[in-house]
Copies of this chain bind each other. A is one copy, B any other.
């Protein structure tokens, strides 16, 4: 016995939560069965169940009948507001974050893209695909559409800087704001599963948004697909109560 006081289930809970937090059991892996745990800790299965109940409430595991208890990924927080920026956002969690270039081209705007950017259908736009990493884990893939005449060579500049914020600065846009964001969810397709280095298809948080400059002119239409179990979106309750 390591702990001497307090209820037994608390000892079990703390021991297991330690195993998880110290990485001895990895996210996605199954905990030992309740039977095995009750043997290991030399307590009744009910005591184990009490401890597992606590771990569920702490969001550390999810239990599936007939299968076992899976250790959950601890998601990053992604704050969504008027000035949403990926890397700033992640550094709030004191995490190292980067965007990585995947693909870029100049294409002609479809109806949907044109509507969001308030430009004529079929006018040229920069199209950039990228993925985002935080603490070595891939957390999103994004597609962005940026009007072309305003920003020639954007693709090259983004490949150099690795940041949209910095790229925009080169074109004299030193600040920009998030207009409406629309959030849905769907399963990842094959490409997304690969880019995010997922073992299998998983639900994604899909965020569609438009960024505008100081004058309110659309400068970017984007579709970001977040890996659902690696990240949660936080929508702050607006300012003062």
A residues contacting B by CB (< 8 A) are 54, 57-59, 62, 64-65, 75, 77, 80-82, 110-112, 177-187, 189-190, 203-205, 212, 214-216, 228-229, 231-238, 241
Q: Which residues of B contact A183 (CB under 8 A)?
A: 183, 205, 232-235
- Which of B62, B81, B185, B215 is within 8 Å of A238, CB to CB? B81
Contacts known (A185-B204, A203-B185); A65 close to B190, Cβ less than 8 A: yes
Q: Are B205 and A184 in contact (CB under 8 A)?
A: yes
From B182, B189, B203, B214, contact of A203 by CB (8 A) = B203
Min CB distance A134 to B, Å, is 16
**Measured between C-beta atoms, what is the minimum distance from A106 to chain B in Å?**
18
A232 to chain B, nearest CB (A): 4
Q: Known: A112-B57, A178-B237, A237-B177. Is A186-B203 also a contact (CB below 8 A)?
A: yes
Instruction: Assess A229 versus B184: contact at CB under 8 Å? Given A58-B111, A110-B57.
Output: yes
Q: Which residues of B contact A59 (CB under 8 A)?
A: 112
Which residues from chain B contact A203 at a C-beta distance below 8 Å? 185-187, 203-204, 228
| Contact between B214 and A241, CB atoms less than 8 A apart | yes
Interface-centre pick from A178, A182, A216 (highest chain B CB count, 10 A): A182
A82-B237, A180-B235, A235-B235 given; 14 more Cβ-contact pairs under 8 Å: A65-B190, A177-B241, A180-B237, A181-B234, A181-B237, A182-B233, A183-B233, A184-B205, A184-B233, A185-B204, A212-B237, A212-B241, A216-B241, A238-B238
Q: How far is the CB of A180 from chain B (nearest CB, A)?
A: 5
**How far is B228's CA from A229's CA once the two chains are assembled, in angstroms?**
15
In the assembled complex, which residues on chain B have CB atoms less than 8 Å from the CB atom of A231?
184
Known contacts A111-B58, A177-B241, A205-B184; is A189 also within 8 Å of B64 by CB? yes
